[in-house]
Amino acid sequence: MIRDWNFWLSIVTIVLTVVTVITAIIAVLQTKKQIELSNKQHLFDLRIENYLVAKCLVEQYKNQKHLWEKEERNKVLFESNSIFFFLTNNTFLEEIQGITAEKAFANPLQKSFLKKMESIKEISTKIELIFSGENAHCLAKFVYSYQDLLHSLYQYKIILEKLQEHSDQFHVTLEDAQRKIPEQEYRDRLWKVIDELEALYVDIDSNDMMIKLEDQIRLTTMNK
């Protein structure tokens, strides 16, 4: 048998085959590990990116909500332009601040404004997908409602322009113009959105939801 080269050749072939199989298995396991690490890194990046935007909006709301807290709800909200300006006074939304500077329909930033509103809606959806639990659901609703508030302010701005135009054209008071222009309807809608956003903010703040979501981000890094 020792001189049987065919036998030894078979043994060598078997050994090489086993080594090849083991090497392939190791390669597959390493690839699997790399994919898992890559997926975790991608999840971490997504969580950080969208969390920071949401945190920016929460803090912006907290710092600016005093602008309307003393406003009388049964009167025209002339400060809506200022409210919009300060709610967009951050690096994420600064590109649409100028939408308040000109007539809404003639404003060259109208397209950018609509795109930004869609972007915020997408962030709201992503938050529910990449985080888990009620905290994520509440924050996602807050982000969506923040967009809703900006959009409602934009619509209200258009109504105020029409109200003023009607007053100037027919030489009537704003009170008389309100009988023709449905300003109150849009104002009521605006206050409803503000109330919804305030309720969500109180829930987020009182339950330390941002801190709990930060913990989810940290767990992503710990599981790498």
- Statement: residue 60 has pLDDT above 60: yes
Q: Which of 56, 50, 48, 54 is nearest to 218 (CA)?
A: 48
Lowest mean pLDDT among 29-33, 46-50, 115-119, 127-131: 29-33
Task: Tell me whether residue 36 is in a domain.
Answer: no
Task: Tell me whether residue 189 is in a domain.
Answer: yes
What confidence score (pLDDT) does residue 8 get? 64
Mean pLDDT of 176-188: 92
Task: Tell me whether residue 140 is in a domain.
Answer: yes
Q: Which of 28, 88, 215 is nearest to 80 (CA)?
A: 88
User: If pLDDT is split at 50, 70 and 90, which confidence band does 132 have?
Assistant: very high
Q: What Å distances lie between residue 155 and 88, 127, 131, 152, 191, CA to CA?
A: 16, 27, 32, 5, 13
Task: Tell me whether residue 7 is in a domain.
Answer: no
User: If pLDDT is split at 50, 70 and 90, which confidence band does 171 have?
Assistant: confident
Count of domains observed in the chain: 1
Q: Which domain holds residue 213?
A: 45-222
CB 119 within 8 A of CB 201: no
- Statement: residue 6 has pLDDT above 60: yes
Task: Tell me whether residue 123 is in a domain.
Answer: yes
Counting residues of the chain whose pLDDT is more than 70, the rounded percentage is 83
- Statement: residue 116 has pLDDT above 60: yes
Task: Tell me whether residue 171 is in a domain.
Answer: yes
Mean pLDDT of 141-165: 94
Write the Ramachandran bin of 131: left for phi over 0, alpha for psi from -120 to 50, otherwise beta: beta
